[in-house]
Structure 1
């Protein structure tokens, strides 16, 4: 499917939809499919097959910003063979020692753990968010 997406893009058809087999759950354009699925595609930001240097190259621009990595430990889009704990630790390092939040049993969208995810985000913003005149918590 990546080869097909590449061909479609080269032919100027990147905005056309991929065959249903590319993603049976939702329509996806050739460009978006390639961006997400091709090695080092435009949106290949968090893949387990990226080296630490590649992760730093893609995410390192955020090292000066307080960051939190919320990782769904039961993400249906992360293959079973991926060591999720190792991957989230690598992502945090690439982001300059970002805060790590592992949501056990959380699906990709965290729709089954909304309260837990929102609580983690609010706590993070209260702790590491704006300080001074633009602090919405004071």
Structure 2
């Protein structure tokens, strides 16, 4: 059985790699608006755990609640959208403001619509997180599969540069 003390020490730092808006990306797809309407209807009828039609998410099954959470404005998982106000971002991310964070943002992320000012967004996210360390990987794709060495170096720097007290330094 975990104690509260054990749980409070469980997360000593966080690295957010590719913090992008599912909602903003999905809004570029023609079927999304209708699927949000369907998900909202199912949720209002108490059927949020029902599966959405396959075209809502062709890669894997998704419940109405989860689809709505990801795709609707201010859904539960609408965490990184560029059109959220600074107050809304802070409301959604400030719970991490006392946790050392690194934000690794791929500047060529294929899931970020072209209209999004990526540099401004990553700056706003870092501020909402209470001053997180910002890493911009130029030309990096969403998974950083084309910039693995840069990503690994950034992560190692973060850990080495005084990660949370109590971490064992695996490089010493």
Alignment match, 2:146: 112
Task: Please say if 1:51 is aligned against 2:94.
Answer: no
Quick one: distance in 2 between partners of 1:26 and 1:109? 19
Alignment match, 1:130: 164
Calculate the TM-score normalised by the size of structure 2.
0.72
Task: Please say if 1:66 is aligned against 2:100.
Answer: yes
Check the 8 A contact 1:16/1:29 in 2, yes or no: yes
**What is the alpha-carbon root mean square deviation over aligned residues?**
1.6
Of 76, 97, 120 in structure 2, the residue corresponding to residue 86 of structure 1 is 120
Q: How many residues were matched structurally?
A: 136
Quick one: distance in 1 between partners of 2:142 and 2:66? 18
Alignment match, 1:101: 135
Task: Please say if 1:8 is aligned against 2:42.
Answer: yes
Task: Map Cα deviations across residues 82-111 of structure 1 (whole Å, 9 max, x no partner).
Answer: 111110010011111211111122222223
Q: Which runs of 4+ in 1 moved over 4 A?
A: none
- Unaligned 5+ segments in structure 2 are 1-34
- Unaligned 5+ segments in structure 1 are none
Task: Map Cα deviations across residues 18-71 of structure 1 (whole Å, 9 max, x no partner).
Answer: 223323343322111111111111111100110000001111122222111111
